[in-house]
A and B are shown apart, each in its own frame.
Chain A
Amino acid sequence: MQLRRKIYMVAGYNTISMGSGRKEFNPKKARPGIEEYMKEAGQAVLQQIGGAQNVDECVVGNFIAARYNRQGNLEGFFPMIDEGLRYKPAIRTEGACASGALALATGIKSVLAETAEVVLVIGIEVQNTVKAVYGADILAAAGWAKERKDGHAHFFPGKFSDRAGKYYEKFGYDYTRQAMATWYKNAVENARLCPTAQEYHNTNSDLMATGMTKPNGKSFVDNLNVFDCSKVSDGASGIAIMSEEGLKRCGIAVKDAVEVIGLGMAENNITQGPADLTKLDATAIAVKKALDMAKITKDDLATIELHDCFTIAGIMALEAVGVAEYGKGAQFVAEGHTARNGKLPVNTTGGLVGWGHPTGGTGVHQAVTMWEQLTGKAGEAQINIPANKPYGLTINMGGDDKTLVSIVYKKN
């Protein structure tokens, strides 16, 4: 399949990923809610594209505000962002932690369908309204509800702990743990270069030692330590999806936008567990679709933003992309190839572990990071994009390898 129109993304914006680790965060004090985050991200995008009158349609990706914030019908917040958005069409997407990229996909499809030339997309989640132990109940909705009773108290860490355990069993604990600790170290080091990242204020001088912490199944889960996990985050990201005509309407030069040249989506059966705990099958398929549509290979990628909700998920995703062979993902990471100065920088603003994981916002955050990197707007976090590899890939995953959206971006 091929895209029948040129699609661009531009005017990205991230709020701070708020939560433990940020100096401003105080769980006992009142914090901004959905309204403030929607407004901040939405207005920042509108300001870069010449205002609300240029927008044809709005999409918001959100996982589960209905439970975190007692709020549904998030579409209704667009006219609050700007009076100029009143009566414009708006859609909300949900696919657990892939809700954000589903919002992007919806925007892309609308531009392809020529029902819009400019789509405002926001991804948002505000999760610090409950303690993590209760948040685990809410997030468990990303899995099959009938598995909840027998699942772990920390449902998703439990799922990926099982995956990590199997990976240890097959390829060795020390070998894998070394890579997981390296993943954590890279994530925090990258986050320290990005002022909106949740780990931006992290001053730990021995990240490797922290990452090597032995998991304790009694207090948490058997095969992951807490540093292997993305944190609980509040945040929103916004970006605009446009056709060439849309760029013209907004007066934006093509060089300031990033082009979308591949979109791969895949859905897996939520009532079935993984065929092989050490593999992310649906991820592999979505990535292949995206790369095929873009007519490039993994070797053409300058950078990847992938869904490291857990360090082990990051390692397995690399194997799913194919940049490392099955079982060699850990080695690839431990050897430093995914670090910002490695041969394939991954998650250059910290990813889910370092930047944060406001679940429904993550897919859009990945797009914003990609736009920043490929247009030279990443500030201190900027990496070099080699002229012969002007491509970036994002992978956004909902649930345990269930709802997958992968996008290929090209520098203009």
Chain B
Amino acid sequence: MNYDNKFENVTVLGAAGKMGSGILLLTSMEMYDISKKPENKDKHYVLYALDISQKALSGLMMYIQDQLVKQAERKINALRSIYKDRADLIDNTEIIAQYVKDVMNIIRPVTTLESAYESHIVFEAASENPELKVKMFSQINLNSKVEPWFFTNTSSIPIGHLNKEANLSGRILGVHFYNPPAVQKLVEVIKCDESKPELSEFVSILIKNMRKIEVPSYDKAGFIGNGHFMRDAIYGMTTMESLRKDMSFAEAVYCVNKVSQDFMIRPMGIFQLIDYVGIDVCQFIMKVMRPYVTDETIHSPLLDKMMEINVKGGQNHDGSQKDGFLKYEKGKIAGIYDIDKKEYVKVEDISTKCDQTLGSLPEGHLPWKAVVGNKDKNNVLSKYFDAMKSQKTLGAELALNYMKKSKQIGEKLVTDKVAYTAEDVNTVLLTGFFHAYGPINDFIN
């Protein structure tokens, strides 16, 4: 069956979730493009948006509609040419409205798994729960007559495990989008030993059509992205604990967050990133990874403690940040959690002291925003990190150690056969985490 035909009947599981809604959006747009090819004009395309709650599905349909308008506005040039023979569609306004209508017409919001029984392709973006995924895959697989292909968005569960438990005979591939899928360029693709090659071929075309970047990863729990992030986070939290002998919890969090953002020129500090992903999600991913990693402990007692006192981070439905290690006001960091007092300390109450303790930013420092798109960034970074090496401050020392650790983690992902190459590790961090430079670099040698 060729690429286009596979798309005649598709299901997205967990479509109303954050990842599912993005995957649904991208898939619906790809299906629309396929349906508009002259050779497909007599075919019918259906995309089931499957989730458990009707309420969530209502919200999903509103979200998809809004997103389609935005996407259509962006590609208005192409759309005018697609609708050039429609004499009734003249203004951009009319063309955009028609596009949204046409794409929406492909999508069917549903709540019953039976809908997926005729799908050739099943994207899965349900919660990161191995039992749930296995249960859904098995049921669909058992009842389907079309030998469906399963593409799971898991960010941590080994694909081989899902293949075996759900008895899929290799008709499964990890296709891990980054959050939010509509925006993020990176897609990690993970095949297990049994994965059929035609699935990888298919997904490569899909990713290219979605104008995204494909990075392959071995089938090791956590893959590249979380493989690096979880270890990087554990290191950040350990460093924070080690600072606590000289300062309060909030001060230590502030310092490590500042080192991992400003000193290291990253888009977010490590504690902000944990909050962004969600303390609960991080804890869960670590739990999923743990049984598969034998030579180190993927676990953070601190995250457990935060969960116990119900400080979870993550995001609200409107995309705004919930409070976690840090407190956010209008998207900006306003406070730091003090685990002893169980309350947030105002940033301005501790920043002066902490900034003094860390010392000034090394010469040549530029904010991440000014570096990330800078054509001369290698040169800028090289000079900056050289200046850091010659600076004897706590901030510089912590940053250099953090850089070394981050590099070590990256290299270990290659030697442990999680990543195929060092370049893949760097691509994931550059495109999936928006770092200005890859962790495996020569800046700190």
Report which A residues bind B (CB closer than 8 A): 131, 133-134, 136-137, 140, 148-150, 152-153, 217-220
Contact = CB atoms under 8 A, between A and B. Distances in A.
Contacts of A153: 76-77, 79-80, 92
Contact of A148 (B77, B79, B91, B96): B91
A133 B90 contact: no
A134 B90 contact: no
B252 to A, nearest CB: 37
A136 B93 CA distance: 10
A133 B92 contact: yes
B87 interface: yes
A137 B93 CA distance: 7
Given A134-B93, A137-B92, A137-B93, A149 B73 contact: no
16 contacts: A133-B76, A133-B92, A133-B96, A134-B91, A137-B91, A137-B92, A137-B93, A148-B90, A149-B90, A150-B84, A152-B77, A152-B80, A153-B76, A153-B80, A218-B77, A220-B77
Nearest to B95: A153
Nearest to A219: B77
Contacts of A217: 77
Interface in B89-125: 90-93, 96
B331 to A, nearest CB: 14
A140 B151 CA distance: 45
A153 B84 CA distance: 11
A140 B93 CA distance: 12
Contacts of B76: 133, 153
Contacts of A219: 77
B68 to A, nearest CB: 14
Nearest to A155: B92
B77 A134 contact: no
Contacts of B73: 131, 133
Given A133-B76, A149-B90, 10 more contacts: A134-B92, A134-B93, A137-B93, A148-B90, A150-B84, A152-B77, A153-B79, A217-B77, A219-B77, A220-B77
A60 to B, nearest CB: 26
B86 to A, nearest CB: 9
B319 to A, nearest CB: 14
A182 B73 CA distance: 31
Contact of B87 (A136, A140, A149): A149
A contacts with B: majority SS: loop
Contacts of B79: 153
A150 B77 CA distance: 12
Contacts of B80: 152-153
Interface string B256-268: 0000000000000
Contacts of A133: 73, 76, 92, 96
Nearest to A153: B76
Nearest to A217: B77
B contacts with A: majority SS: helix
A134 B73 CA distance: 9
A140 B91 CA distance: 9
A133 B69 CA distance: 11
Interface centre among A136, A149, A152 (most CB of B within 10 A): A149
Top 6 A-B pairs, shortest CB-CB distance: A137-B91, A153-B76, A133-B73, A149-B90, A153-B80, A153-B77
B71 to A, nearest CB: 12
Nearest to A148: B90
B75 to A, nearest CB: 9
Interface string B152-177: 00000000000000000000000000
B312 to A, nearest CB: 29
A287 to B, nearest CB: 34
A153 B90 CA distance: 10
A150 B93 CA distance: 15
A220 B74 CA distance: 10
Contacts of A140: 91
A217 B76 CA distance: 12
Contacts of B91: 134, 137, 140, 148
A136 B77 CA distance: 12
A63 to B, nearest CB: 17
Contacts of A134: 91-93
A217 B81 CA distance: 13
Nearest to A140: B91
Contacts of A220: 77
A153 B93 CA distance: 10
Interface centre among A137, A148, A217 (most CB of B within 10 A): A137
A216 to B, nearest CB: 10
Interface in B51-92: 73, 76-77, 79-80, 84, 87, 90-92
B90 A136 contact: no
Contacts of B77: 152-153, 217-220
Interface centre among B91, B93, B96 (most CB of A within 10 A): B91
Nearest to B83: A149
Nearest to A137: B91
A217 B87 CA distance: 24
A217 B78 CA distance: 11
Contacts of A150: 84
A148 B84 CA distance: 11
A87 to B, nearest CB: 39
A92 B91 CA distance: 27
Contacts of A148: 90-91
Interface centre among A131, A133, A140 (most CB of B within 10 A): A133
Contacts of A218: 77
A151 B93 CA distance: 14
Contacts of B92: 133-134, 136-137, 153
Interface centre among B79, B84, B90 (most CB of A within 10 A): B90
Contacts of A136: 92
Interface centre among B73, B90, B92, B93 (most CB of A within 10 A): B92
Nearest to A149: B90
A217 to B, nearest CB: 8
Contacts of B90: 148-149
